[in-house]
Amino acid sequence: MNLNDSHQFSLAAAPFDRRDADIVLRTPDNVDFHLHKAILCIASNFFDGMFNIPQPDESCQYEIHHESGIPIVCVSERSLTLDSLLRFCYPSTDPSLKDEELMADVLAAAQKYDMEDVERRIKKSMLVSILYPPSNIPLAPKIVTAYAVAVRLGLEDVACAAAVASISTITFPYVPALDKVSSGALHRLLEFRRRGLAEIGSYSFCTPLEPPAGDDNPDKQSDSGLSAETSATAPGYEDGGKGVIAHNMSTQFCHESAGVTIQSSDNVIFKVFRTILALGSPVLIRKADDVLASPDSSQIVSIDEDSKTLHMLLQLLYPMEEPEVPDLSSAVAVYMASCKYEVLVAKAFAKRQFREHIRDDPLRTYFMASKMGWAEEMREAAHFSLFVEQDKWVPEMEDVPAAVYRQLLDYRLDCQRAIYRRSAIDINGWKTHTSLRQPMHWSNSKLYGADRSSWEVDRILPSIHDKLSTSVFRSESEAVIAMACGHSSTSDDSRNKFLRTAEAVQTELDELLIKIQINL
pLDDT, average across residues 126-147: 80
Read out DSSP for 137-163? S-HHHHHHHHHHHHHHTT-HHHHHHHH
Look at 452 and 49; give whichever has higher pLDDT: 49
The whole-angstrom separation of Cα 124 and Cα 377 is: 44
* Distance, CA of 367 to CA of 403 (rounded, Å): 11
Evaluate if residue 122 carries a pLDDT over 70.
yes
Between the two ends of the chain, the Cα-to-Cα distance in Å is 39
Strands 268-272, 244-246: pairing is: parallel
**What ranges in 274-343 are assigned the alpha helix state H?**
274-280, 282-293, 307-317, 328-340
Report which residue type is found at 461. L
Rounded CA-CA distance 467/387 in Å is 6
Residues 6+ positions from 229 with CB-CB distance below 8 Å: none
Query: Do the domains 246-357 and 9-95 match in fold?
Result: yes
Task: Please check the confidence at residue 398 and state whether its pLDDT lies above 90.
Answer: yes
User: What is the DSSP-derived secondary structure letter of residue 401?
Assistant: B
Q: In the chain, pLDDT over 70 holds for what percent of residues?
A: 68
Q: What class has domain 246-357?
A: alpha beta
Q: What is the pLDDT of residue 479?
A: 44
Query: Pick the residue with more confidence: 117 or 497?
Result: 117
Whether 509 shows a pLDDT value over 70: the answer reads: no
Domain ranges for the chain: 9-95, 246-357, 365-427+460-519
pLDDT classification of 492: cutoffs 50, 70, 90: low
State mean pLDDT over 159-188.
91
Strand partners, 17: 34
Beta strands in 122-243 (DSSP E): 237-239
The pLDDT, as a whole number, for residue 478 is: 46
Burial class (CB in 10 A: 0-12, 13-18, 19+), 134: exposed
Three-state secondary structure call for residue 369: helix
Amino acid type, 14 = A
Q: Please spell the DSSP secondary structure of 43-105, one letter per residue.
A: H-HHHHHHHHS--S-HHHHSEE-TTT--EEEE-SS-HHHHHHHHHHHSSSPPP---SHHHHHH
Taking phi over 0 as left and psi of -120 to 50 as alpha, with beta for the rest, 402 belongs to alpha
Query: Residue 481's pLDDT band (boundaries 50, 70, 90)?
Result: very low
Q: How far apart are CA 328 and CA 355, in angstroms?
A: 9
Alpha-carbon span 260 to 273, nearest angstrom = 6
Specify the CATH architecture of the domain 9-95.
Answer: 2-Layer Sandwich (3.30)
Q: How far, in Å, CA of 516 to CA of 411, rounded?
A: 6
Opening angle at CA 503, ends 501 and 505, nearest 5: 65
Distance, in Å, from the CA atom of 381 to the CA atom of 365, rounded to the nearest integer, reads 6
Residue 513: the pLDDT is 64
Burial class (CB in 10 A: 0-12, 13-18, 19+), 16: buried
**pLDDT, tens digit (0-9, with 9 covering 90-100), for 57-100:** 555 566 887 777 789 999 999 999 999 999 999 998 888 887 77
| CA-wise closest residue to 226 among 208, 243, 214, 213 | 243
- C-beta neighbour count of 298 within 10 angstroms: 12
Helices (DSSP H) in 400-476: which residue ranges?
402-422, 432-435, 452-460, 470-475
382-to-142, 317, 466 alpha-carbon distances in Å: 30, 33, 13
Transcribe 377-392 into DSSP letters: HHHHHHHHTTT-SS--
Q: What is the mean pLDDT of residues 217-223?
A: 45
Tell me the per-residue pLDDT of 281-336, one tens digit each, with 9 for 90 and over: 999 999 998 888 887 767 899 999 999 999 999 999 999 899 999 999 999 999 99
Instruction: Tell me the C-alpha distance between 511 and 279, whole Å.
Output: 44
